[in-house]
Amino acid sequence: MAESGEEKGGALVVVGSVAIDTIETQADRAPEVLGGAATYFAAAASFFAPVRMVGVVGSDFPEADLDWLRRRGIDLAGLEVRAGRTMRWTGRYHEDMNVRDTLSFEANVFDGYLPTLPAAYCEAPYVFLANIAPELQTRVLDQMRSPRLVGADTMNLWIETARDELAALLRRVPLLIINDEEARLLSGERNVVRAARRILDLGPTSLMIKRGEYGVLFFSGNSVFSAPAYPLEEVFDPTGAGDTFAGGVMGYLAATGDVSPAGIRKAIVYGSVVASFTVEAFSLERLRALTRDDIERRYRQFVSLTSFDVA
Ligand code: AMP
């Protein structure tokens, strides 16, 4: 990532899954609710910057959800509606909510989908390749003219089944945002710091490793930054926390254009703040009621949570 300070902000393109989820926790169950990595990302980023979404949904995708995304100011010109069923995912959380099982997954309209960006999207300065097959992420990146910052996420499935495509993509991605389990799998290292060093040799110049309730580690060159997760008494549904974290980070960077080390630290805290709200309710429910004031208030709590005197 460039080490320059403030530059003008701009629009943020995101590609990734848009899905209908069924989520089971030990306490409750939410059938057929709004989900998908790009959906969580876009909703979070829309608190900060203009977002343009790329993906596909089926004819069964609720119109009310499309309306809500539009009302959040998200540009849906790049979201295709195809005949057929929307992607479906069912997940079940263990008592320890850091652990979950995928009970079922159907790609549905994502099968054979080839994203084609509306012309206006290609000029956007910021792009995030949220979780989806690396070949689709690559296809979107290929269509971007000259983005100022490219970020990406991935998941175990692609690390295991599409490693070559992912490796080729990573050489073109300056900012990778993945969780600790993915970092271990991608690098073959158990220790997260060693894993980070290995991953920074694969292409990305900056890496954010999401560690659930343990917060986030950021690696760039020789510098390391650590942010805690906001301490919550109850986590209701962790689904999408990582995607909303990335949405907050990229949304803040797109809004300010400030990719200096200080700007990135602020972006990481904004990402952590939005993620902390996401887990307070099922699906995107908490984000629907969230305001920018709520975000600012919790941002200030984060500052006091982590401030201490130099001896
Ligand atoms: P996260 O909690 O950040 O892992 O993201 C959860 C979202 O990822 C859910 O809303 C799912 O719809 C979506 N998802 C699950 N499996 C896949 C997959 N194989 N490809 C893309 N997205 C997926």
Is residue 4 a part of any domain in this protein? no
Torsion sign (Cα): 180, 32, 87, 249 = negative
CA of 37 to the centre of ligand 1 (A): 6
**Residues 199-226 pLDDT 10s:** 999 999 999 999 999 999 999 999 999 9
Report which protein residue has its CA nearest ligand 1's atom 3. Answer: 240
> With a 6 A CB cut-off, is 254 part of the ligand 1 pocket?
no
pTM surpassing 0.75? Answer: yes
**Residue 62 forms part of a structural domain:** yes
Model confidence at 9, in pLDDT bands (50, 70, 90)? Answer: confident
Number of domains in the chain: 1
Measure the CA–CA gap between 40 and 244, rounded to whole angstroms. Answer: 5
- Kindly state if the Cβ of 179 falls inside 6 Å of ligand 1: no
244 lines ligand 1 (CB under 6 A): no
For the cut 70, the answer to whether the pLDDT of residue 278 exceeds it is yes
Each residue's pLDDT tens digit, 88-102: 999 999 999 989 999
In 10 A of CB 207, how many CB atoms? 22
Is there a domain that residue 6 lies in?
A: no
Pairing between strand 87-93 and 100-106?
antiparallel
CA 28 / ligand 1 centre spacing (Å): 19
Domain CATH for 102: 3.40.1190.20
Range of the domain at 158: 14-306
Tell whether 298 is covered by a domain. Answer: yes
Whether 5 is covered by a domain: the verdict is no
Q: Check residues 120 and 1 and name the one with the higher pLDDT.
A: 120
Q: How far apart (Å, rounded) are the C-alpha atoms in residues 53 and 130?
A: 11
Q: Which of 234, 182, 238, 180 is CA-nearest to residue 21?
A: 238
| Residue 91 near ligand 1, beta carbon < 6 Å | no
Answer yes or no: is 1 within a domain: no
Q: Whose CA is nearest to atom 13 of ligand 1?
A: 36
Separation of alpha carbons 131 and 151, rounded Å: 11
Ligand 1 mean position to 181 CA, how many Å?
15
Residues 6+ apart with CB under 8 A from 129: 14, 15, 16, 137, 140, 141, 150, 151, 152, 153, 169, 173
- 32 in any annotated domain: yes
Task: Kindly state whether residue 118 falls inside one of the protein's structural domains.
Answer: yes
Q: Where are the strands (E) in the chain, listed by range?
A: 12-15, 19-24, 29-35, 51-58, 75-82, 87-93, 100-106, 126-129, 149-152, 175-179, 206-210, 216-220, 223-227
